[in-house]
Amino acid sequence: MAKKRSQTQAKKAQITNGARATGAEGDVPVVGAREPCPCGSGRRYKACHGRAAAHAVTELVHRPFEGLAGEADWIALRELVPAATVELTLKDGLPEGVPSVTLATVLPMAWPALRRDDGSVLLGLQNDTPSGDISRDLADTLQRALTAEPGTPIQGRRAPSDGPRLQDLLDPKGPFEPVVHSGFEFWVPDSENTSPEVAASLERANAAAIPTVKLAGVDAAYWCETPEKNHLRWVMPYPEEQLIDALARLHAAGATGLGEGTRLVGSFRAHGLTVPVWDLPSGVSAEDVEKPAAEFAERFAGALASDAPLTADERRARGGLTNRQVTLS
């Protein structure tokens, strides 16, 4: 499986003409790197405010969701799940006039966030972000949504480099319980009376959504249905080398299957965690895979706990698994 750049990585490589950098004196427009800095310091932009701007764009946080409740599910909702929502719990409680804050995979018109007419906030997760720290960008969007006028969509921007991250705003002990939806009707309270633009966006999003179900018996495992076959994609919160070793032990023993006709085909790398992927026959539903997944979890826990050197067969299995990894982020 070949390595692939995610949309987020591609976005990092581009600075639009309208981007802005934040410095000690406030907002400073981005200009050519060799031009005088607009702040009036007399230095070239790249040696003044451009330095902080370039650093903010290029620095990549390897595990942006580390320390948040449900890190593996954050990654699944960011990269794998079409339509899902999660009620978020803020450290300092909800501000006056904000009845709820809900994380959503995607929002209408690809808005980064939305303050609804009733004051509630929807925060979009799958948007492109302008820096290498998704957590900081999302926190900036969330803060602006909390104080926006009701009925206002929130536009994207580059977050201040010293701004808070999600880990600073969310309660680390709060529940993180994704609800997977079959479509995007959660966007609007009354989908029949929404604007034509949002209605069209809703129709397009529903048409593109792949049917997805979160397994109940194991953490952060998601079944999905495609025309030719189904899949199980399971975000696992373990160090990659240790996880691949454990999978190699089981694969060499013929113990990675989830039932007849199923096959572990490789894995994704996403935001610092690894996501093993199984092919399933088209007739295998999410309910069908619940028990095999729970049984695999027990086998995997035993393999993960082993510190014995890999055998020759296990090393060969490991090589095959590492050759079938795709990097999403």
- Percent of the residues in the chain that have a pLDDT greater than 90, as a whole number: 70
With H, G, I as helix, E, B as strand and everything else as coil, classify residue 8. Answer: helix
Q: Quick check: 18 pLDDT over 60?
A: no
Taking only the tens place, the pLDDT of each residue in 116-137 is: 999 999 999 999 888 899 999 9
Would you tell me the crossing angle of helices 286-305 and 240-252 to the nearest 10 degrees?
110
Q: Quick check: 40 pLDDT over 80?
A: no
To the nearest 10°, report the CA torsion of 183, 209, 144, 18.
-150
- What is the pLDDT confidence band of residue 191, given thresholds at 50, 70 and 90? low
Residue 304: φ, ψ to 5°: -65, -30
- What is the pLDDT confidence band of residue 52, given thresholds at 50, 70 and 90? low
Q: Quick check: 31 pLDDT over 70?
A: no
Q: Which residue has the tokens 């006709």?
A: 261
Q: List beta partners, residue 222.
A: 214, 233
Sequence-separated (6 or more) residues with CB below 8 Å from residue 155: 111, 112
CB 301 within 8 A of CB 236: no
Would you tell me the crossing angle of helices 312-322 and 240-252 to the nearest 10 degrees?
120
- What is the pLDDT confidence band of residue 189, given thresholds at 50, 70 and 90? confident
Question: Of all helices (H) and strands (E), which one includes residue 169?
Answer: helix 166-169
- What is the pLDDT confidence band of residue 5, given thresholds at 50, 70 and 90? very low
Q: Which residue has the tokens 């529940």?
A: 175
pTM, two decimals, is 0.81
Q: Which residue has the tokens 């299957």?
A: 257
Mean pLDDT, all residues of the chain: 87
> Would you state the structure tokens that stand for residue 187, as one six-digit string?
């966007």
